[in-house]
């Protein structure tokens, strides 16, 4: 149950005065639904109203605050003409200008003969000094009561600064003083104030310098967010560790058979990873390990060896992949090798129904099948394993922490291996996985050819189409990836549809299309035709088939490459260059290209090292935007920016460990404060993993 003290912050944003349905809709565009979300929306700039001057001295173009005596009102003739109000001080006179004016309102705000303070941007028209729509109008007392320096927030259509600032102000008024979760000595050394005071400070910058991520208030808020993240991960991990593990020790007989059935040798990296995994599985603890490796580095085989290790020890193993297509692909790699080893594999996806499914379930339940490969379907109710010793998750970042944990329930002390192709920099690894052990595949199988990467503007599409024509005339296959216009594939595959129409008009039936809205069976048909049949150009959106292995593919085209995360582009590029022939990756961009976008694309041309790409991306953009967030599986931070707060991540990690060691159930005063923190940052799922809720 959420601590009551937080309730005011978890009410809908519409509960704030000034936030009606229309404003609420605009707020949603910037990710604000609840009152708390406004707190996380930190200012990006300031408006300085401290420049107080006289009419004669006023510098045009600046925001100025001037004390004036109100003179005559001059309503405009007709609708087009502005309403003007004369205002003067001892040095001269100026006009306050209003369009679409409401005369009664202006008469009330600016009564003739009275002294008022106005603040806004000054302009000079010929000899006349003007202030169009002053931002502020009031008596000297009223203005003195307002802040001379106002925060500026990121806005969106339909949301004015005034309205947003008011909403944020309302949210801040509701922010309670919360019990302190930070270590008092550390907080003092950092010159930190309480959470609430830090929040007020971050929203009330006194100057430009106060916007710096290195200011104490911003660092404190970043720390809080990172602490919530690390604490949640520690809780999850501890919970998994606490369940008794078991020692799974294979004797090597199946591994040997498969090794000799392979047409190539494992890379040194693969061997290394396999021995790390085997050692970990052999320990009494439960394994929770990450296998990181670039696309094409050969993770599937490493997973297979880990699974064989479980089978040698008399247990079963399962491999979960995010899509049907990837399941089929893993099956195609693993099945023949499993056959060589003399063990049975079953596949299980949401599409397997009826007898086939029944047979698979029976084989898993009685242990006849040693290996299972499937989608989420594997871990749903009704699926029972005889004895699941190892679960491998090929996540491609589409499973959440929660789903990873569901595995835990399917076996007794089941070891878990998570595979990821995203070259997450070490600094970020911690945010997504906590201190999970990791094995890295750092080398590619021998014989891989470097991929020629080119960057070109969309306006040279015609040349590209000629290159495609040449490619396919040599029986090579071409991937053509289009961006999603909306976040979700379900919603918007329009760009891909359109490109498909265009290419099909040129190349006819040699063009295929796959995206999220196309029926699974049709998708499979097209993929199969692309892999082995007469489809030579595959137009696709990203989310769907990134894991596919098509050795004949030698050309990868990515449209609007500037909209993709670098890591994602790197992964897409890894789809070609798997066979004998030389491969090319063409990154098409829409113009104009920003400086940063240009620098980012340049990195891809310069290096093929996924980890370096990820580090550079982090440096150029900051973690928040890294990897195209949504698909990346990395948590999105609202106040922490790992480009600046990496040290705090380390601290948060150490602190969360220490606190859990001291008070594993978070029962003490500080523990209770930490529970509040978890709720505050929406990490309350983790609270469930506390032994006694």
- Minimum distance of Mg ion from residue 595's CB (angstroms): 35
420 binds ligand ADP (CB under 6 A): no
Nearest residue to 387 (alpha-carbon basis) of 366, 416, 408: 366
**Which residue among 270, 396, 414, 584 contacts ligand ADP (CB under 6 A)?**
270
Strands 316-320 vs 388-394: parallel, antiparallel or unpaired: parallel
**Measured between alpha carbons, how far is residue 594 from residues 563, 591, 600, 630 in Å?**
11, 9, 10, 22
**Is residue 340 part of the contact set for ligand ADP (CB under 6 A)?**
no
In the sheet with 437-441, reading across from the earlier edge strand, the strands are 345-348, 371-374, 316-320, 388-394, 415-420, 288-293, 437-441
Residue 424 in contact with residue 434, Cβ under 8 Å?
A: no
Minimum separation from the CB atom of position 441 to Mg ion (A): 11
Retrieve residue 558's tokens: 């990515």
SS3 of residue 682 by DSSP: coil
Q: By CB under 6 A, which span of 152-160, 204-212, 261-269, 355-363 interacts with ligand ADP?
A: 261-269
d(CA 405, CA 402): 5
Closer residue to ligand ADP, CB minimum distance, 422 or 471? 422
Lay out the site mask for ligand ADP across 618-647 (x = CB under 6 A, - = otherwise).
------------------------------
Question: Could you tell me the smallest distance in angstroms from the CB atom of residue 536 to ligand ADP?
Answer: 20
Q: Which does 270 bind (CB under 5 to 8 A by kind): Mg ion, ligand ADP, none?
A: ligand ADP
Summarize the chain as % helix, strand, coil (round to 5): 45, 20, 35
Does the footprint of ligand ADP cover residue 264 (CB under 6 A)?
Answer: yes
- Closest by CA to 13, choosing from 166, 180, 240, is 166
Burial of residue 529 (number of CB atoms within 10 Å: 0-12, 13-18, 19+): middle
- State the minimum distance, in angstroms, from the CB of residue 436 to ligand ADP: 18
Nearer to ligand ADP by Cβ, of 542 and 656: the residue is: 542
Question: Closer to Mg ion at the Cβ: 300 or 323?
Answer: 300
Q: Beta strand 83-89 with 92-98: parallel, antiparallel or unpaired?
A: antiparallel
Q: Which is nearer to ligand ADP, 549 or 663 (CB)?
A: 549
Give the dihedral sign, CA 528/529/535/541. negative
Task: Look at residue 264 and give the partner it binds from ligand ADP, Mg ion, none, a contact being a CB closer than 5 to 8 Å depending on partner kind.
Answer: ligand ADP
Measure the CA–CA gap between 527 and 530, rounded to whole angstroms: 5
| Residue 549 or 615 with smaller CB distance to ligand ADP | 549
The residue among 216 and 445 lying less far from ligand ADP, judged by its C-beta, is 445
Phi-psi region of 586 (alpha: psi -120 to 50; beta: other; left: phi over 0): beta
Judged by beta carbon, residue 513 or residue 550, the one nearer ligand ADP is: 550
Beta-sheet pairing, 415-420 with 371-374: unpaired
Measured CA to CA in angstroms, residue 191 lies from 186, 215, 240, 323, 654 at distances of 9, 10, 37, 49, 20
String marking each residue 538-577 x if it binds ligand ADP according to CB under 6 A: -----------x----------------------------
Q: Which of 226, 301, 306, 527 binds ligand ADP (CB under 6 A)?
A: 301
Pick from 361, 591, 345: nearest CA to 457: 591
**Least separation, in Å, of the C-beta of 185 and Mg ion?**
47
Distance, in Å, from the CA atom of 612 to the CA atom of 567, rounded to the nearest integer, reads 10
Burial class (CB in 10 A: 0-12, 13-18, 19+), 510: middle
Q: Does the protein bind ligand ADP through residue 296 (CB under 6 A)?
A: yes
Stretch that binds ligand ADP, among 46-54, 187-195, 289-297, 618-626 (CB under 6 A): 289-297
User: CA-to-CA distance for 321 and 323, rounded, in angstroms?
Assistant: 6
Q: Residue 231 interacts with ligand ADP (CB under 6 A)?
A: no
In order, the DSSP letters of 68-124 are EEEEEEEPPSTTTSPEEEEEEETTEEEEEEESS--HHHHHHHS-TT-EEEEEEEEEE
β-pairing, 477-482 vs 451-457, is unpaired
Chain residues that interact with Mg ion, rule: CB under 5 A: 300
Number of residues in contact with ligand ADP, rule: CB under 6 A? 16
Q: Kindly state whether residue 404 participates in binding ligand ADP, applying the rule CB under 6 A.
A: no
Binding flag, residue 297, ligand ADP (CB under 6 A): yes
Least Å from the CB of residue 351 to Mg ion: 20
Applying CB under 6 A, which of residues 445, 579, 624, 671 lies at the interface with ligand ADP? 445
299 binds ligand ADP (CB under 6 A): yes
198 binds, among ligand ADP, Mg ion, none (CB under 5 to 8 A by kind): none
Rounded-to-integer distance, Cα 144 and Cα 170, Å: 20
Q: Is 336 in the site for ligand ADP (CB under 6 A)?
A: no
Interaction partner, residue 348 (Mg ion, ligand ADP, none; CB < 5-8 Å by kind): none
Nearest approach, Cβ of residue 431 and ligand ADP (Å): 23
Pick from ligand ADP, Mg ion, none: which does 422 bind, CB < 5 to 8 A by kind?
A: none
In terms of CB distance, is 229 or 300 closer to ligand ADP? 300
* Sole window of 93-101, 188-196, 263-271, 364-372 interacting with ligand ADP (rule: CB under 6 A): 263-271
CB of 333 to Mg ion, least distance (A): 9
Of 38 and 308, which CB lies nearer to ligand ADP in the complex structure? 308
Is beta strand 149-152 parallel, antiparallel or unpaired with respect to 45-48? antiparallel
Choose the one of ligand ADP, Mg ion, none that binds residue 99, judging by a C-beta under 5 to 8 angstroms depending on kind.
none
Residues of this chain that bind ligand ADP (CB under 6 A): 264, 266-267, 270, 293, 295-301, 333, 421, 445, 549
């Amino acid at each position: 149950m959420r601590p009551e003290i937080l309730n005011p912050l978890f009410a809908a944003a519409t509960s704030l005065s000034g936030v009606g349905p229309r404003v609420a809709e605009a707020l949603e565009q910037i990710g604000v639904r609840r009152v708390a979300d406004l707190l996380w929306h930190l200012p990006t700039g300031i408006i300085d109203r401290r420049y107080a001057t006289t009419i004669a001295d006023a510098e045009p173009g600046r925001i100025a605050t001037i004390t004036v005596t109100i003179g005559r009102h001059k309503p405009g003739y007709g609708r087009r003409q502005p309403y003007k109000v004369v205002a003067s001080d001892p040095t001269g006179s100026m006009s306050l200008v209003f369009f679409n004016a409401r005369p009664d309102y202006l008469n009330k705000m600016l009564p003739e003969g009275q002294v008022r303070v106005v603040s806004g941007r000054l302009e000079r028209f010929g000899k006349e000094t003007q202030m169009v729509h002053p931002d502020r109008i009031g008596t000297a007392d009223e203005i003195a009561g307002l802040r001379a320096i106002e925060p500026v927030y990121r806005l969106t259509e339909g949301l004015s600064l005034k309205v947003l600032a008011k909403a944020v102000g309302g949210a801040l008024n509701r922010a309670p003083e919360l019990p302190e979760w930070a270590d008092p000595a550390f907080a003092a050394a950092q010159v930190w104030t309480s959470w609430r005071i830090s929040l007020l400070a971050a929203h009330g910058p006194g100057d430009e310098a106060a916007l710096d991520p290195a200011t104490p208030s911003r660092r404190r808020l970043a720390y809080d967010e990172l602490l919530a993240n690390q604490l949640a991960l520690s809780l999850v991990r501890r919970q998994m560790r606490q369940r008794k593990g078991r020692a799974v020790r294979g004797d090597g007989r199946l591994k040997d058979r498969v090794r000799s059935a392979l047409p190539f040798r494992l890379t040194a990296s693969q061997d290394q990873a396999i021995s790390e995994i085997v050692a970990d599985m052999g320990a009494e603890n439960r394994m929770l390990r990450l296998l990181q490796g670039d696309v094409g580095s050969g993770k599937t085989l490493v997973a297979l060896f880990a699974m064989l290790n479980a089978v040698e020890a008399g247990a079963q193993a399962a491999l979960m992949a995010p899509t049907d297509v990837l399941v089929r692909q893993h099956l195609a790699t693993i099945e023949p090798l499993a056959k060589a080893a003399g063990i049975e594999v079953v596949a299980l996806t949401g599409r397997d129904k009826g007898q086939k499914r029944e047979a698979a379930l029976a084989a898993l339940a009685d242990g006849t099948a040693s290996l299972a490969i499937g989608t989420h379907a594997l871990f749903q109710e009704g699926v029972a394993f005889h004895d699941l010793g190892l679960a491998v998750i090929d996540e491609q970042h589409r499973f959440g922490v929660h789903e990873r944990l569901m595995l835990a329930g399917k076996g007794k002390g089941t070891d878990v291996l998570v595979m990821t192709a995203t070259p997450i920099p070490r600094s970020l690894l911690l945010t997504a996985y906590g201190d999970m052990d990791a094995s890295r595949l750092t080398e590619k199988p021998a014989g891989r050819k470097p991929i020629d990467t080119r960057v070109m503007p969309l306006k040279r599409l015609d040349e590209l189409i000629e290159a495609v024509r040449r490619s396919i005339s040599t029986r090579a296959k071409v991937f053509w990836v289009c961006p999603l216009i909306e976040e979700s594939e379900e919603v918007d595959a329009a760009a891909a549809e359109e490109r498909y129409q265009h290419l099909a008009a040129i190349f006819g039936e040699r063009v295929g299309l796959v995206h999220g809205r196309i029926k699974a069976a049709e998708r499979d048909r097209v993929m199969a035709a692309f892999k082995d049949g007469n489809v030579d150009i595959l137009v696709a959106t990203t989310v769907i088939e990134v894991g596919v292995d098509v050795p004949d593919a030698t050309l990868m085209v990515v449209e609007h490459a500037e909209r993709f995360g670098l890591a994602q582009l790197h992964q897409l590029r890894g789809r070609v260059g798997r066979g004998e022939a030389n491969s090319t990756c063409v990154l098409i961009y829409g113009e104009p290209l920003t400086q940063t976008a240009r620098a980012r694309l340049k990195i891809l041309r310069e290096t093929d090292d996924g980890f370096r790409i990820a580090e550079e991306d982090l440096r150029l953009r900051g973690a928040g935007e890294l990897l195209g967030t949504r698909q990346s599986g990395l948590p999105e931070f609202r106040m922490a920016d790992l480009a600046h707060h990496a040290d705090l991540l380390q601290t948060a990690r150490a602190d969360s460990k220490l606190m859990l060691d001291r008070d594993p159930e978070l029962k003490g005063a500080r523990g209770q404060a930490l529970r509040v923190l978890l709720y505050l940052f929406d990490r309350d799922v983790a609270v469930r993993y506390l032994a006694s809720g």
